[in-house]
């Protein structure tokens, strides 16, 4: 038997779906509720709207760093845990003087050289008084990155932040264990 929905029923369903999404976004921590331009794109993303309730692995990246090959491992984490809810977000930054001045070059390094498919944002500051709002809070809670490719594992409710420095590779057992516990 085929059922059809009336216009009022469709409107009610749409309102419920909208409220459900809004409730999740409303529960999102304020430090994530910001719009960021995507890397080499005119599109932007609001971390709350896009990823509310999902655990995040936030990484400060640089395209000309000795740790840049970690992009492959971060992509592997994205593929391994993405279906279970983990979101990997890269924040390129020139705070340590190793990011390209050209977003097109950064995009090529990420997307072409390393096959990155996870969310990459336009370059921004991650340390000091000019740090973007996400990193201002991460720095307050867990400490500033001392170099590129610091990893911050943030629980879905934003209450828990774990910090892993640059030397902790994406395939490190302690990072994998922390992700598993969060999922």
Active site residues: 65
Kindly give, in sequence order, each residue whose CB lies less than 8 Å from that of residue 45, ignoring residues fewer than 6 positions away: 35, 36, 38, 119, 121
64 sits in which H/E element: none
Distance (Å, whole) CA 121 – CA 132: 11
Six token digits for residue 14:
């749409």
For tokens 């590779």, what's the residue? 169
Distance (Å, whole) CA 94 – CA 5: 53
C-alpha distances (whole Å) from 12 to each of 5, 72, 97 are 10, 45, 53
Kindly give, in sequence order, each residue whose CB lies less than 8 Å from that of residue 24, ignoring residues fewer than 6 positions away: 52, 53
Q: In what order do the strands lie in the sheet with 119-120?
A: 119-120, 87-92, 56-61, 151-154, 161-164
Six token digits for residue 175:
């990072």
Pairing verdict, β 119-120 and 87-92: parallel
């Amino acid at each position: 038997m085929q059922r059809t929905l009336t216009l009022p029923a469709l409107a009610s369903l749409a309102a419920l779906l909208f409220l459900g999404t809004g409730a999740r976004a409303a529960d999102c921590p304020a430090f994530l509720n910001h719009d960021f331009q995507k890397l080499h794109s005119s599109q932007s993303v609001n971390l709350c709207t896009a990823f509310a309730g999902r655990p995040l692995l936030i990484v400060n990246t640089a395209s000309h760093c000795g740790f840049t090959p970690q992009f492959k491992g971060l992509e592997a984490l994205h593929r391994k845990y993405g279906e279970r809810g983990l979101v990997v977000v890269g924040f390129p930054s020139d705070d340590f003087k190793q990011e390209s001045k050209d977003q097109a070059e950064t995009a090529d390094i990420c997307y072409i050289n390393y096959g990155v498919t996870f969310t990459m944002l336009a370059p921004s500051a991650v340390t000091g008084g000019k740090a973007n709002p996400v990193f201002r809070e991460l720095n307050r809670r867990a400490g500033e990155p001392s170099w590129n490719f610091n990893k911050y594992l943030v629980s879905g409710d934003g209450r828990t932040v774990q910090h892993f420095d640059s030397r902790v590779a994406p395939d490190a057992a302690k990072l994998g264990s922390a992700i598993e516990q969060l999922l």
